[in-house]
Amino acid sequence: MICPKKLAELINTNCAPNLKQKDPNWEIGVSKIAGRGVYATRNLKCGEIIFKDDPLLIGPTLRNETPLNTCTVCYSLLDPKKFLCKQGCGLPLCENCSRKKQHKAECQLFKSWEPVEPQTPNILVIRLITVARAMLFNANQKALLYAMQANIDTTFRNEVKNASACFKNFPTDKKIVEYLHRTVAILNTNSYEVNSSKQSDFPLRALYPLAGILNHECVPNTTYTFDEKNYTIILKAAKDIKEGQEITISYTKLLWSNLMRQLFLKMTKQFSCKCQRCSDPTVSIFVPFLV
C-alpha cells in the first residue's frame, strides 16, 4: 500500500480545482481504523464544508430494471427505439454527445474490441464503459487509481469476464485484463452510488480520489451530498471535529440495525466493524433493511 505522503502528492497532481486549496481543512495520514485516513488540520464546526471532490472515474452501474436507453456520456433519457451509437460501438448515445471528444475515444476503444451485436442494447457492454474509461487514463491518473484500496474478492473478475463474451476481439493481454480486473475491485471497494441528475433513473458509480479514502464509522462525524450538475461530492461536518481527529463517513445507512450493517460491510467491503455501536447488545437487530 502506497504511503500517505505519496498518495497526497498523487491526489494533488490529479485533483480538480475543488481540492486545490491554499490552506486545506484535511490531510492524509495513517489511520487507527484501517490503512490510511483523512484528518482534520484544524477545529471544524458542525455544518462546515470540509472539502468538495470531483470524480476521477464515473459511469453506469446498472441493475436489471435500469432503462438502457440512457446516454452514457450525459445520462439523458433517449428515444427508446433509436438510441445506440451509429458508429457501431454498442453504447447508448445522444446526438450532442456523439460529437464530444470523450465519446470519440470511448467509441474507438469499443469498436476495436468489435461488439458481437453493436445494434442490440446489452447491459454487460453498457456497464463495462465505467471500467473501460480507466483504459484512457494518463500515467498520473493510472498511478492514482492503483494507489487506491482494492479488496481482492474473486467474484469481481466476473464483471470483466462476462462482458468479454460480448466482443469478438476483447483484450487477452494479461496486463490489460489484470488492469481491468483491478479497476473493478477498486470501484467495488471505494466508489459511491450517485443518481443521474437527468431524471432517467440511471444509477452511476463514482470514484473520488479523496472521498474514496475516508474510513467507515457507524456513527460518523460527517455527512455528504452530491452536486446534481457535475456529481461533485460535498463533505460537511455532522458534528464539531477537533484538529487531528480522523474524518469518517458511514458506508451503510445510519438507521440500519447492527445485523444489517454487519452483513452489508462483510459482503461489500470485506470487513467486520467492531465499533461501540456494533458491540452494543441492547441495540435491536430487527430494524428493517432501509434503502
Say what the pLDDT of residue 289 is.
45
Question: Which of 253, 224, 255, 218 is CA-nearest to residue 237?
Answer: 224
Q: Where are the domains of the chain?
A: 4-54+208-250, 64-206, 257-290
Q: Any idea what DSSP says for residue 278? A: H
Say what the pLDDT of residue 208 is.
95
Name the 3-class secondary structure at 47.
coil
C-alpha cell at 144: 492514482
Say what the pLDDT of residue 73 is.
94
**Could you tell me the strand order of the sheet in which 246-249 lies?**
26-30, 36-40, 246-249, 215-216
d(CA 202, CA 181): 23
Say what the pLDDT of residue 119 is.
92
Q: Which residues pair with 162 in a beta bridge?
A: none
- Taking 70 as the pLDDT cut, the residues of the chain under it are 1, 16, 18, 20-21, 64, 154, 198-200, 281-291
C-alpha cell at 91: 453504447
Report in angstroms the alpha-carbon separations of 247 from 35, 79, 129, 144, 174.
14, 44, 32, 21, 38
Say what the pLDDT of residue 282 is.
64
Q: Tell me the per-residue pLDDT of 242-252, one tens digit each, with 9 for 90 and over.
A: 999 999 998 87
**Assigned CATH topology for domain 4-54+208-250:** Beta-clip-like (2.170.270)
Say what the pLDDT of residue 31 is.
86
Residue type, 193: E
Say what the pLDDT of residue 264 is.
75
CA 272 to chain centre: 21
